[in-house]
Structure 1
Amino acid sequence: MPLNDRDLSWLSFNHRVLGMAADPQVPLFERVRFLSIFSSNLDEFFRVRMPALMALHHIEEADTAVLPTVQEELKKQLQEFGQTLTKQLLPALKAEGVHLYYGEEIDAANKKPVKDYFYNTVLGFLQPLTLELDKPVEMFLENNALYLIVCLEDGRHGIVNIPSSNLPRFLRLPDKQIVFLDDVIREHLDFLFPHKKVTGCYSIKVTRDAEIDVEEFSGHLLDKVEDMLIKRQLGVPTRFLYDARMPDELRDSLAAYFRIANVELAAGGRYHNLKDLAELPMQSGNSACAYPPMPAAPVAPLEGDGSLLDTIKQKDVLLHVPYQKYDYIVRYFNEAATDPDVKEIYVTLYRVASGSQIVHALISAAKNGKQVTVMVELKARFDEANNIRWAKRMKEAGVKILYSIPGLKVHAKVALVKRKRGFHWDHIGLLATGNFNESTARFYTDHILLTAHKGITQELELLFVYMQTGITPTRYNFMHFEDLLVAQFNLVDRFTAMIRREAENARKGLPARIVIKLNNLQEKQMIAELYAAADAGVEIDLIVRSICCIVPRKGIRLRRIVDRYLEHARIFIFHNNGEEEVYMGSADWMNRNLHRRIEVCFPVYDPVYRQQVKDIINIQLADNTNAVILDAQIRNIPVTREPGEPAVNAQKGIYAYVHQR
């Protein structure tokens, strides 16, 4: 069965992000933002995927190991990154009056404010040391921290930290001139290393392995994860990034001193951690330098003065964020926290905002005497510390906290409110394709169903019973999932059955079509089912943002959309001989999602909303400006627009569509 490599397909996605930074049709300041996203993504790749690739390289035959191909692709992309920044973006910024010093001598007029900033602000954060490179290592390089290696006239070397985690990476000077924090320090090395002439200065950083299995640890899960966070910062190096101008002899000496293997050495530019470009203080009188405002649309049924919970009780509401207001989700939790008839609240939390209003509402609910149960996924990578902090605060307020499930991550995005009026209980559910996070909701495209559907809400309650008790829902104990598709239970079987039904319809000569939108597609069983369906004559359209291991062939069309907003929703549409079934949810088709997580996909029953979802998908399939076609080599091939054909941008088109509802 033909499959594309998952890591090369991810690099193809990040190359598409880089392509947005190089695209002159993208507003200038947004191009800088895409460059920072590319850099941030790459750091995570080195922390999460590179350790596995390096391990495989040691055990696989040379002709099967993918590491050399990955390294070659990384080298090519980093060269393109440097060209895009230095040859395109920096000159374009300067033309707009935004001058970022990039290896240039700072103007004499700016020496004084740089000097004042160094002595009054920066100096107190610095720890300059002299290194004895021929002696045992005397210091530890922190993960992704920035350092300057300083060459001294007497043949010795110094090292000084760049405190970008404590101070802004950029200093704004008069007349829209900007200088790196790195260069503020470079200007004053003679003060840090007195009586020794400085003969050279080069930047370095180490990226460390972030993949530490929580199952390694013994004891309470909360303690395990807190221990893991400490160990992560001490992980083995996966990349030693150094200024390419550094002499080879010095590079090799540093590698030996810090115990860096040759395979971990990576040449870079003068500056590292260019994800910090997202913080670049850019201003211009030219409005074309940024995306125009796209204010979120109100949803008429939820705009009234009455209870939002009452409105949902009467009729389902499907939200399309960020095109529509996310405020209603915060209001859902706020009302539940204060409504005297609400007795119980259940919610899963995977990634929450650092100042989450939703979590504050849950804390208030508990203090208001309600029974609040929250499944906090402590193993959400890189959000563990934030989740631990919130979990402790909620527990102190009386919230019942469920700390994950051994061997599983709870990735589902669901909530349930139980309200008692007289002798009657209302169940009001919330099911989403994205996290309950007010911050990311501004730029992640997701869909959220608010519903009182009896079957869906009863099965939500059943799911929370399972997460609390571990009692497995089955037909034999009269607890099982029918409306919801839940990983570990029926999700894989149901998706498989729906794909096979389309294949059978195609063999009968009936119309057969599948449209799927995912973040990642890698699980072999599901790919095999799609191949078999295509061979049977099913027409399959896939929109896959990131990792994509399926190889396009006859009947399988594959595209990717990278634009202003991060495409994040998972949508599944099966033609079913005209009786279409539409599902949405949290589950990508990856091994981890289908076999090692609790995921929930939910049906869209309301015909009006089902049509909205289909219309939105059709707009994305018609995109001929930002969409690219993925070919068998995972290359991003721009969609060709025929002469006279109108331009279609999916996100602009969806924004207009949603505002007409």
Structure 2
Amino acid sequence: MIETSFFNRDLSWLKFNERILMEAERNTVPLLERIKFLSIFSSNLDEFYRVRMPVLLALQKLSNKEDNDIQFDENLLSTANQLISDQQQRYGKVLKESLIPQLKENKINLIYGQPFPGEIKKSLSRYFLSQVMAFLQPVYINTDTDFFPSNNELYFLVTFRKDGEDETVVLNIPSNQLPRFYKVETDQETFIVFLDDIVRFHLDKIFPGAEITGCFSFKVTRDAEIDLKDEYSGSLSEQLEKQLLKRDLGFATRFLHQPGIPANVFELLKKVFNLKKANRIAGGQYHNLKDFMAFPVNIPKLSNQNWPKLCNTDVIEGSLTEAIYKNDIIVHTPYQSYDSILRFFNEAAIDADVREIYITLYRVASDSKIVNALISAAKNGKKVTVLVELKARFDEANNIKWAKKMKEVGIDIIYSVTALKVHAKVALVKRQVGDRMRYSGLFSTGNFNESTAAFYTDHILMTANKEMLREVELLFIFLAKRVKPSSSDLIKFEHLLVAQFNLQQVFLNLIDREIEHAKQGKPASITIKMNNLEEKVLINKLYEASVAGVKIDLIVRSICRLVPGVEGMSDNIKITRIVDRYLEHGRIFIFHNLGKNDVYLGSADWMNRNIYRRIEVCFPIYNEEIKQEILDIIAIQKQDNVQAVCIDEHMDNVPVEITGPPIASQEGIYQLLKNKK
């Protein structure tokens, strides 16, 4: 047995966020797109502090107790904090030394930690007095103050002296009610001003007659975990609604503040805000720079070239359902239009022959056209069954809202059991044709969500394969029982790979087959694209395959615990990470099988949660033309030498060496599909 090793999942995640930062640092990326990457980096880091930092703090605490055997690297927290600190330094450097000067060259002045130019002061004062002032709520702080800073909202800590008394006040920066940036245009230039600075500039209007001695920005990030009982008791939606109200009351995991807060004031805040467990981090003057996503400038030459959505030529005219009956159809978002997916549900909603509709919903758009089609279908007399996953993190409230609306019109709503999420992306339509029931359906690598389909790369298969769709029907029958899978009642899936049933074992068997081929001296290879790679059983099987001589290409966007390029363990494994204008999201699994190329797509990453705590569905591609299209797409991604980096044995993002013509895979895929006949 080979001795194996694994990257730490949290450090790997931070390395992925570093890859996002690298795009902001690249001069070849259009200026406004670089600013968006700064926004994505900041948003990701906030989520890390909300979701992962509480876990690390809890593990550290538990590992210090004598009565358990939890293994925790005592250097992990300090290593993570150092990585974050280094990345924040790079963030500030690229913003101040590169992006702001380039904006200036384009007559756009981002006022960043500097006085306001005289020509815009009157405009800013009018805006403050007429708009901003209405949302300000100063709170005076002392040892008896009962004040709870909201999660990730912006505040000023203001100290001043008035009438011989020293005062400490927390003042909100109302960025949830007003735009974070205010734009002032003159004849010559455009000025972009932070809402924070508009408030700071007018402190004399908020505290008249006071001598301002200090003004420091800060925010508090809180634990986002929701605590639900393992056993189902009462209404899951009611439990979740109660817990959602508590989410923003979680303990503080980070107190991010502008440097310079006096020591005595800091001690007061620690007590009043209950910051004992929080990482207290001195940052810059501005926080929540995820708001850069709404940077109020739109200049085409400073943005990505527009790629109009492509139409899938298989579904332009006639009945979509009839087209699916004739042949499988695949849609690749966001390169191809999502309209055909919306059309699938719209046709089903009004088709007099449709009897039943089934669908899983994990994250849906806030104004979901798909859910509205389902509501219309129910009103049109069809039986509609929807599995709504209420526990989709940060989408719980939206999912609860839609579940209530669907229930009101008689749609059968299934909720997953508390300790098991349903992450599968499947839909089934049953249509009465004469004395026969005909099936059509969708299998997707991503959510049924027209909003995210605009920038997530996913693959949606439309099929009338009755064997596959009957297995979907069996899955819905099982899910409606609201029980956890057990060995006594497992469904035998012959086509689909379903987590909790057969998914892990089938993947292990497919890898074993490549191992046997390699041992026999035959060609053997595996190519896998996914978002996250963590689960040790499957990683160890890939290590075993590498030792046997199987050539393995992995395209892993985010967390990756597999260590590549280690002699005698993983020297036949190459890992690349692609970051570009679209979020790489589709999961693709290709097993060479002596040139036959067994291809699966699906919803499942290889993470502990996906393998052991979720219902996932991966599905085979039987149509040879579609299979070749998937192989062509992956071939382009494997050749990417512009947007791809290699993950090395030290977990670093190493740019791919350009030895031939430059290939940016997303542009290549767009051109491939554009030229599709």
How far, CA to CA, are the matches of 1:450 and 1:110 in structure 2? 56
2:216 is aligned, of 193, 197, 202, to: 202
How far, CA to CA, are the matches of 1:307 and 1:557 in structure 2? 44
2:134 is aligned, of 124, 129, 140, to: 124
Partner of 1:316: 328
Kindly state the Cα deviation for residue 249 of structure 1 after the two structures are TM-superposed.
4.2
2:205 is aligned, of 191, 203, 206, to: 191
Alignment pair present for 1:150 and 2:158: yes
Instruction: Figure out how many residues of one structure are paired with residues of the other and give that number.
Output: 654
How far, CA to CA, are the matches of 1:183 and 1:211 in structure 2? 33
How far, CA to CA, are the matches of 2:650 and 2:490 in structure 1? 48
Partner of 1:59: 62
1:429–1:460: 8 Å Cα contact kept in structure 2? no
2:252–2:278: 8 Å Cα contact kept in structure 1? no
Aligned residue identity for 1:29: L
Partner of 2:43: 40
Alignment pair present for 1:641 and 2:644: no
Moved more, 259-268 or 325-334: 259-268
How far, CA to CA, are the matches of 2:466 and 2:139 in structure 1? 66
How far, CA to CA, are the matches of 1:475 and 1:161 in structure 2? 55
The alignment partner of 2:90 has SS state of: helix
1:562–1:627: 8 Å Cα contact kept in structure 2? yes
Partner of 1:105: 115
Which residues in structure 2 correspond to 1:220-619 (within 5 Å)?
220-261=235-276, 264-284=279-299, 287-304=300-317, 306-470=318-482, 479-553=491-565, 554-619=571-636
Aligned residue identity for 1:18: L
Aligned residue identity for 1:387: N
How far, CA to CA, are the matches of 1:243 and 1:334 in structure 2? 52
2:158–2:170: 8 Å Cα contact kept in structure 1? yes
Alignment pair present for 1:656 and 2:671: yes
Partner of 2:14: 11
How far, CA to CA, are the matches of 1:265 and 1:219 in structure 2? 39
Partner of 1:141: 149
Aligned residue identity for 2:170: I
The alignment partner of 2:229 has SS state of: helix
How far, CA to CA, are the matches of 2:237 and 2:73 in structure 1? 43
1:51–1:209: 8 Å Cα contact kept in structure 2? yes
Kindly state the Cα deviation for residue 486 of structure 1 after the two structures are TM-superposed.
0.3
Kindly state the Cα deviation for residue 578 of structure 1 after the two structures are TM-superposed.
1.6
Kindly state the Cα deviation for residue 100 of structure 1 after the two structures are TM-superposed.
1.4
1:473–1:479: 8 Å Cα contact kept in structure 2? no
2:485–2:500: 8 Å Cα contact kept in structure 1? no
Which residues in structure 2 correspond to 1:619-630 (within 5 Å)?
619-630=636-647
- Evaluate the alpha carbon distance shift between residue 477 and residue 275 of structure 1 in structure 2; reply closer, same or farther with a 3 A threshold: closer
Kindly state the Cα deviation for residue 474 of structure 1 after the two structures are TM-superposed.
9.7
1:465–1:471: 8 Å Cα contact kept in structure 2? no
Output the aligned Cα RMSD: 1.7
- Evaluate the alpha carbon distance shift between residue 488 and residue 479 of structure 1 in structure 2; reply closer, same or farther with a 3 A threshold: closer
Kindly state the Cα deviation for residue 188 of structure 1 after the two structures are TM-superposed.
1.5
Kindly state the Cα deviation for residue 388 of structure 1 after the two structures are TM-superposed.
0.6
How far, CA to CA, are the matches of 2:433 and 2:168 in structure 1? 75
How far, CA to CA, are the matches of 2:490 and 2:120 in structure 1? 75
Aligned residue identity for 1:486: V
Kindly state the Cα deviation for residue 185 of structure 1 after the two structures are TM-superposed.
1.1
2:353–2:433: 8 Å Cα contact kept in structure 1? yes
Deviations 1:352-393 (A, max 9, x none): 111111111011111111111111000000000111111111
- Evaluate the alpha carbon distance shift between residue 180 and residue 535 of structure 1 in structure 2; reply closer, same or farther with a 3 A threshold: same
How far, CA to CA, are the matches of 1:354 and 1:472 in structure 2? 30
Long gaps (5+) in structure 2: 65-71, 566-570
Kindly state the Cα deviation for residue 63 of structure 1 after the two structures are TM-superposed.
5.5
Kindly state the Cα deviation for residue 257 of structure 1 after the two structures are TM-superposed.
2.8
1:462–1:473: 8 Å Cα contact kept in structure 2? no
Query: TM-score scaled to structure 2, two decimals?
Result: 0.94
Aligned residue identity for 1:417: V
Query: TM-score scaled to structure 1, two decimals?
Result: 0.96
Kindly state the Cα deviation for residue 248 of structure 1 after the two structures are TM-superposed.
4.2
Kindly state the Cα deviation for residue 480 of structure 1 after the two structures are TM-superposed.
2.1
Identity of aligned residues (%): 52
How far, CA to CA, are the matches of 2:47 and 2:534 in structure 1? 19
Kindly state the Cα deviation for residue 247 of structure 1 after the two structures are TM-superposed.
3.7
Partner of 2:98: 88
Kindly state the Cα deviation for residue 528 of structure 1 after the two structures are TM-superposed.
0.6
Partner of 1:164: 175
Moved more, 258-267 or 571-580: 258-267
- Evaluate the alpha carbon distance shift between residue 266 and residue 480 of structure 1 in structure 2; reply closer, same or farther with a 3 A threshold: same
